[in-house]
Structure 1
Amino acid sequence: MAFPVPVIVPVLLPLPLDQPYDYLLANGDAPSPGSFVVVPFGPRELLGIVWSRRSPRPVATARLKSVQTVLDTPPLPPTLLAFMQTVADHTLTPLGQVLRLAIASTSALAPAPLKLAYRRGPAPMPVKPSIVTARVLAAVGEVPGEAPIVAAELGKRAKASAAALRQLALDGLLQAVEVDTDGGPASPDPERPPLALDPQQEVAAAELVAMVEAKSGVALLDGVPGSGKTEVYFEAVAAALRAGRKVLVLLPEIALSAQWLERFVRRFGEVPVAWHSGLTSAQRRDRWRWIARGQAKVVVGARSALFLPLTDLGLIVVDEEHDQSFKQEEGGIYHARDMAIRRAAIEGCPIVLASATPSLETILAAGLGGHVEPEANWRHLHLPARHGTAPAAALELIDLRRQRPPRGAFLSVRLRQALQDTLERDGQSLLFLNRRGYAPLALCRACGHRFRCPNCSAWLTAHRLRRRLQCHHCGYGMPEPAHCPSCGTVDSLALSGPGVERVAEEVRQLLPEARIAVMTSDTVGTANAAEALVAAMAAREVDILIGTQMVAKGHHFPDLLTVGVIDADLGLAGGDLRASERTFQLLYQVAGRAGREARAGRVLVQTHVPDHPVLQALASGDRDRFLQVELAERQEAGMPPLGRLAALILSGPERPLVEKAARELARAAPFDPDIRVLGPAQAPIALLRGRWRERLLVKASAEVDLQAYLRGWLGAQKFSSKVMLTVDIDPQSFF
């Protein structure tokens, strides 16, 4: 008698480990790489995937544990496995931690629940059926074995109760079965006529279609706000669909999706499959399985969608590619734009990076700015004018040193007049302040006590609408205190500085007849809430929209005539090397919301430093000049994108232990003439979520293999179990 020979299966687990573990599979052939399995790990049972290579530390077969279950779920495709390895190699993230990004929702792996359904049973038709019986049998048909009808639908058609259907099944007139009703999403139609494109748009669209047909290339689609970038890359989407291939579109904000989806439906007739954090478990399960089975033709989502098991990709689009929210800062640090370029290369498909304010990294790669030649296979597609007849909005800098707002207010007289005038002209206004809540600082008038977070080195932000003080780093909150906890004085709370809620309060006092809405992550925390507010604005149910960066980009409101920036200087402070770049991007984007149809728009920017190069570039509209100056400064300092950086962050619950580990790590740094190790130094937010933090910054020339240097250095280090090391390649923030 022949006995089955156990096979050794390497299994990668979603843990911060870099290698798979070997397990035994007693029966059957080894599952293909990417297959989902359940295995024992210590006292637990864990979900993992079959990996493509064995563990580098083999264990005797007799000591190996056995695979418990091989799930009946489509395996992760080979291209996704290769992409996961690429992400791990580039970011120095343990491979198992990257796997967690690909299986972040384990509920998605469960099969859809079966539903009760009925079809015609074997019993003959009664001679004199009741009225209900006749209706039911007419609904299911006369031939046994025909397609079943879900019980709820059958009851609705035949006007029969669930009890009546069960009785007919007992009588043999019906046969009860369980069915999978997950039929998949509707497919977008690429043959629907597109919107009319102008000559510049047609040229850009033709270039993108050619890239889709060639199955390669990186395109920077660079167009001013309102130039129709979305409609242009929709033609590349249509080309990929005609070729029978899939499309992935990444958007930075859930708030952008509402109007984007409306445009998509207008062009393709159906909604794409959306993927974001606001989905329910059931929605995630259904959509993940559609994607894994190849039924989802177009997927649109936030950065996490980059790790979905899409097969046969024909195009990737990163819209608003410059946006900071594409950088994942925790739980596996990566930049979705940079990783999307790598996934496109692995998949053998082109990628489009769209923006009105491209990042300096993208500018440099595309060969703009005069510093280097474009990278191989990159092309620059420029849309310099708004689509249609909409003129560019006039922009005016308001010098707050000379035009001070009234005492206790934050809107200058000039901006107040503009809001009043716009309301009288039956137009809409937008006020932008990139600061949530009512006030960024709460203190006691009597003793000066400042309210700070007990878990973070940060002040608590006052939220007047909820009467709470909130930490925007860890989520800690407390009710507004009735008395000072330091001196005991009653009713001594003073709120310093403006947030969007405070600006809204001022506007309500100024224009009580205006319909006002506030748009921040506090007020529209879900995709549905964002969609409802955007729809209200588009339907002219809002006169003045006040918000943070959520309002700054992607929206098209035809009657938005006035944009006011409350504090243009807010992003220019601090030591962030990207402060000027980000401020310019944000202000340029928010200014682009004004006057997008026939009526001219205006933009009023309040500032204390009107001579700052960022604001001068904004006022003159000379974006390219600003980018050239910024690139020259980065080159002189050897900073990205003309140099390389990596941040090493050590954290732990005990401050002395973290400081000691940081000093020892710095002393162990290997010498390299092209690399400088700066620090350690206390992080700007030294205490975050109850953990003390120290930072080191590794600076290298652009030609250095920074990852290889870090592997050699960090691989030999041992830390206390209480100290955690986080590596951030090409950091975007320095908090």
Structure 2
Amino acid sequence: MLPLPIGEGYDYRVPEGLDLAEGDFVIVPLGRRQMLGVVWALGGSGDIAEARLKDVVGRLDAPPMSTVLRRFVSWVAAYTLAAPGQVLRMAMSVPAALEPAKPVVAYRLAEGFDIEGLRPSAARRRVLTLLRDLPPLPAGDIAREAGVSSGVVKGLAEAGALATVLLPPSLRPPVPDPALPGPDLSDDQRSAAEALSGGIGGGYSATLLDGVTGSGKTEVYFEAIAAALRDNRQVLVLLPEIALTPHWLERFEARFGCRPLEWHSELTQAQRRDGWRAVSEGKAGVVVGARSALFLPFPDLGLIVVDEEHEPAFKQEEGVTYNARDMAVVRAHLGEIPIVLVSATPSLETVANVEAGRYAKVTLPDRFAGAALPMIQAIDMRAHRPAPGRWLSPPLVEAMRGTLEAGEQAVLFLNRRGYAPLTLCGSCGHRLGCPNCTAWLVEHRLAGRLQCHQCGYTARLPSECPSCQSTDGFKAVGPGVERIAEEVLHTFPEARFAVVASDTLAGPAAVGELLRSVREREVDILIGTQLVAKGHHFPLLTLVGVIDADLGLMGGDLRAAERTYQILHQVAGRAGRAEHPGRVLLQTYDPDHKVLKALVEGDRDRFLEAEADDRRRAGMPPYGRLAGLIVSGADQRLVEAVALRLGRTAPREEGVRVLGPAPAPFSILRGRHRCRLLLKTAKAIAIQPVLRRWLAQVEVPASVRVQVDVDPYSFL
């Protein structure tokens, strides 16, 4: 099997003297080039005459791909209707890790060298003094420890004061110590930890760890991790977003004495190479990562934890479309190991699996150390209107004033980046849109630009209207977090505030610095998007204000109500997590909506029951099956023609319904025209065979792409 978007593997001949086994990484010829691949099966397909077979070039000195991982690749490909080679590419994402690692160049003091004859500078003396008591170190480590530039180290080596030493290329990452004592657990936490730990080594099981925000779920599943480490098994922890990692990593290090191996898009190529190799050789005891970590080559995986399992970020929308939470359950089942799904607001899919008996459930009903859940109130914006051009209601402003006077902290939450979501001409009303997408340009006033949040296109605010050439100026319509920050600055000029959004925080280091500044009371008010809702613990944060609680309820998204409840519940959970009681104010124009009522009344289960009844009656997931077909291409007429052919050949079977074709909500995205069809079936129908039969009837031109999205989360 080659990491290419092809449907089947290729047959090759094994030359004499080369012993191969299934899972071996090999080099094979393909046309005029050579490629890396995996021995998927021995014996060949028998479809190719032996005279036409080409020889395998050689085998790589790397641990073979395990049977479980190969079965997992095949399973994901079959479920998502992706080519197996596309999925294999995710499991071979670091080709450099398959090559022999180069030794590390390090330096030590040269024996017999006349240092005084060198007449070293102060910087050189610091390097020489440092190396008297240390083993050989790479140049970068020496420069950092001695507080000098790398040029100083290089100069000493060229002068002969330092001798070169070649160190082994792969240093074992720090090993987490499960024997270190953890924090004192409450009775509920201890019972939950024992239930999760008891599943280690006992085969496949899936358990929902359901606990209110602040109940200590992380410390509970840390005990399961400790049990897996004591059993000499590897552990994978999936987190939905990189922004969650700084605080989580600190807690892990405090519990186990070192950090786990990290896996996410912010790593350098060298870090990815070393990490992949450490995982494949069994040297990485615990890996924490984003969804792609699911395809790492664990030789002895013993536990998977999916934290915040309800998060939409676990769904990959590009390339192979899959939900990492669901595929993690498959990975655990194939490997016959336990998996723990963790959430304060579990997805309806997971709740349905618990009710059906497929998943077990462990509950933490109370916050840790007696902290009380925050009081949640709805502010009816019809009765408490802000002043013109303002977005904070009088009750919220008054609550913020009281919070600041008490020396406590507040969060203002609005899930909308930038200054304003829409900019239009004050004379003719022309709206500034993206030239590549059917989307409005969002003003980012702090950066001085307009930006499309779909394709990334940026532009300066024009001096005149492109429609009427008016120079009267443009108007910002609606608020983003930057506009709320402007209002906070005007209303509370003495308050120290920070804006928290994906475009204002560049990576985990920036997130970590922000968390530190909040904990050390250098910030009074956090103004942010959903990043502020992500599992952070701020002891003095007692007030949460939600600027537009109705925002997520707009549009026809299947999960709009569920997602809105989840994110508002999560952001509300930031308030009052220590001894100071918390308060949450939700600004809304529809306080009687079932989501708002459930939040105010603290009745999550009743909301889930009502949402489940609505989905059940409509035959929607998790009580029915969906698959989206997105037809896209640069030629609008060709795209529409393919979509119409798909519509005309749509399956007409009992329990199967096809909606569309219709222009996608974003009918142009990144310069490509888009149409959508939606296949809806009964729960008992296997949707993949229906899709395969349907797609086989339509010939698709090379310039048009038909993307299949089984179990869609996005309908844009």
Which bin holds the TM-score, normalised by the shorter protein?
over 0.9
- Measure how far apart 1:488 and its partner are: 1.4
In the TM superposition, residue 23 of structure 1 has moved relative to its aligned partner by 2.9
Would you say the 8 A contact 2:426–2:472 is kept in 1? Answer: no
AA partner of residue 364 (structure 1)? A
Query: 2 CA distance for matches of 1:138 and 1:488?
Result: 69
Corresponding position of 1:660: 641
Alignment match, 2:120: none
Asked if residue 518 in structure 1 is aligned to residue 499 in structure 2, the reply is: yes
In structure 1, give the amino acid aligned to 2:303. L
TM-score when scaled to structure 1?
0.91
> Is the Cα contact below 8 Å between 2:413 and 2:546 reproduced in 1?
yes
Structure 2 partner of 1:713? 694
**What letter matches 1:449 in structure 2?**
H
Confirm or deny: 8 A CA contact 2:246 2:512 kept in the other structure.
Answer: yes
- In the alignment, which residue of structure 1 is the partner of 2:181? 193
Does the CA contact (< 8 Å) of 1:21 and 1:54 recur in 2?
no
Match of 1:568 in 2: 549
Matched, 1:695 2:682: no
Secondary structure at the aligned position of 2:35 is classed as: strand
Q: 1:594 & 1:119 partners in 2: Cα distance?
A: 53
Q: Structure 1 residues 29 and 503, CA, compared in 2 at 3 Å: closer, same or farther?
A: same
**Residue 212 of structure 1 aligns to a residue in which SS?**
coil
Q: What is the DSSP-based 3-state SS (H/G/I as helix, E as strand, rest coil) of the residue aligned with 1:15?
A: coil
Quote the Cα distance in structure 2 between the aligned partners of 1:28 and 1:91. 39
CA contact (8 A) 1:108 1:281 kept: no
What is the distance in 1 between the residues matched to 2:533 and 2:504? 16
Q: How far apart in 1 are the matches of 2:453 and 2:108?
A: 56
1:23 alignment partner, SS class: coil
Which amino acid is 2:270 matched to?
A
Deviation of 1:419 (Å) = 1.3
One-letter amino acid matched to 2:175 = S
Q: Secondary structure at the match of 2:199?
A: helix
8 Å Cα contact 2:139/2:153 also seen in 1: no
The question of whether the paired residues in 1 share the 8 Å contact of 2:616 and 2:623 is answered with yes
Instruction: Report the 3-state secondary structure (helix = DSSP H, G, I; strand = E; otherwise coil) of the residue aligned with 2:12.
Output: strand
Check conservation: 1:155, 1:162, Cα contact below 8 A: no
1:643 Cα offset (Å): 0.7
Question: CA distance change for structure 1 residues 95 and 309 in 2, over 3 Å: closer, same or farther?
Answer: same
Structure-1 residue corresponding to 2:467: 486
**Could you tell me how far 1:167 is from its partner in structure 2?**
8.5
Tell me how far 1:482 sits from its aligned partner: 1.3
- Residue 667 (structure 2) pairs with residue 686 (structure 1): yes
Alpha-carbon distance between aligned partners in 2 of 1:507 and 1:140, rounded to the nearest angstrom: 53
Contact 1:20 1:54 in 2 (8 A): no
Q: Is residue 359 of structure 1 aligned with residue 359 of structure 2?
A: no
1:77 has 2:60 as partner: no
Indicate whether 1:307 and 2:288 are aligned. Answer: no
CA contact (8 A) 2:423 2:474 kept: yes
Deviation at 1:667, TM superposition (A): 1.9
Q: How does 1:243-642 map to 2 (within 5 A)?
A: 243-367=231-355, 373-375=356-358, 378-642=359-623
Cα distance between partner residues in 2 of 1:154 and 1:527:
22
CA apart distance, 1:512: 1.1
- The 5 Å alignment of 1:39-118 reads 39-52=28-41, 56=45, 58-116=47-105
Letter of the 2:411 counterpart: L
Q: Give 2:588's aligned amino acid.
A: T
Are 1:594 and 1:602, in contact at CA under 8 Å, matched by a contact in 2? yes
CA separation of 1:407/1:108 partners in 2, compared to 1, >3 Å: closer, same or farther?
Answer: farther
Whole-Å separation in 2 of the counterparts to 1:511 and 1:163: 55
For 1:261 and 1:155, locate their aligned partners in 2 and report how far apart those are by CA, in whole Å: 26
C-alpha spacing 1:666/1:596, structure 2 compared with 1 (3 Å)? same
* Partners of 1:579 and 1:161 in 2: CA distance: 58
| Offset of residue 67 of structure 1 | 3.6
* Match runs of 1:220-235 below 5 Å: 220-235=208-223
CA contact (8 A) 1:215 1:314 kept: no
SS of the equivalent of 1:728 reads strand
AA in 2 matched with 1:440: P
2:304 is paired with a residue whose SS is strand
State how far apart, in whole Å, the 2-side matches of 1:155 and 1:499 are: 46
Deviations 1:631-682 (A, max 9, x none): 0111100000011111111111111111111111122233310111111111
Q: Secondary structure at the match of 2:549?
A: coil
> What's the offset of the Cα at 1:181?
4.2
Q: Describe the superposition over 1:380-403 as per-residue Cα deviations: whole angstroms up to 9, x where unpaired.
A: 111111111211111110000110
The answer to whether the Cα contact below 8 Å between 1:357 and 1:588 also exists between their aligned partners in 2 is yes
Residue aligning to 1:370 = none
Shift of residue 155, structure 1, vs aligned partner: 9.0
SS in structure 2 at match of 1:22: coil
1:213-249 CA-to-partner distances (Å, cap 9, x unmatched) read 4232111000000001000111100000000000000
User: Is the alpha carbon distance of 1:66 and 1:447 closer, same or farther for their aligned partners in structure 2, counting shifts above 3 Å?
Assistant: farther
Contact 2:628 2:712 in 1 (8 A): yes
Whether the 8 Å CA contact 2:598–2:606 is kept in 1: the answer is: yes
Q: Is the 8 A contact 1:312 1:347 kept in 2?
A: no
Measure how far apart 1:711 and its partner are. 1.8
Shift of 1:78: 1.9
The amino acid of 2:255's aligned partner reads R
Asked if residue 15 in structure 1 is aligned to residue 1 in structure 2, the reply is no
Per the TM alignment, residue 256 of structure 1 is displaced from its structure 2 partner at its CA by: 1.0
Question: Which amino acid in the other structure matches residue 468 of structure 2?
Answer: C
Q: Which residue of 1 aligns with 2:708?
A: 727
Q: Deviations over 1:429-481 (max 9, x none)?
A: 00110111110001111111111111111111111011111100111110111
Tell me the amino acid that sits aligned with residue 202 of structure 2: A
Alpha-carbon contact 1:442-1:451 (below 8 Å) kept: yes
* Cα pair 1:652 1:693 within 8 Å, conserved: yes
Measure how far apart 1:162 and its partner are.
6.4
Q: Which amino acid aligns with 2:378?
A: L
Question: Per the alignment, in what secondary structure is the counterpart of residue 190 of structure 2?
Answer: helix
Determine if contact 2:18/2:58 at 8 Å carries over to the other structure. no
Q: Distance in 2 between matches of 1:322 and 1:154?
A: 41
Residues 110, 498 of structure 1: CA spacing in aligned structure 2 closer, same or farther, 3 A cutoff?
A: farther
**Contact 1:118/1:175 (<8 A) preserved:** yes
Judged with a 3 Å threshold, the aligned counterparts in structure 2 of structure 1 residues 57 and 396 are, in CA distance, closer, same or farther, namely farther
CA distance in 2, matches of 1:153, 1:597: 42
State the Cα distance separating 1:414 from its structure 2 match.
Answer: 0.8
Q: 1:573 to 1:148 in 2, by over 3 A?
A: closer
Per-residue deviation at 1:102? 1.5
Q: Give the Å deviation of 1:598.
A: 0.4
Percent of residue pairs identical: 53
Structure 1 Cα separation of the partners of residues 11 and 417 of structure 2: 50
Secondary structure of the structure 2 residue equivalent to 1:21: coil
The alignment yields a C-alpha RMSD, in angstroms, of 2.8
Kept in 2: contact 1:115–1:150 (CA 8 A) = no
The residue type equivalent to 1:679 in the other structure is G
Give the distance between the partners of 2:316 and 2:628, measured in 1 at CA. 14
Deviations 1:129-181 (A, max 9, x none): 85679x9999999xxxxx99457599999999768867979xxxx99663324
C-alpha distance in 2 between matches for 1:522 and 1:111: 38
AA paired with 1:356? A
Measure, in 2, the Cα distance between the counterparts of 1:524 and 1:500. 14
Q: Which amino acid aligns with 1:348?
A: E
**CA distance, structure 2, for counterparts of residue 489 and residue 164 of structure 1:** 66
Q: Which amino acid in structure 2 is aligned with residue 374 of structure 1?
A: G
Q: Distance in 2 between matches of 1:571 and 1:329?
A: 19
- Report the counterpart of residue 4 of structure 1 in structure 2: none
Letter of the 1:571 counterpart: G
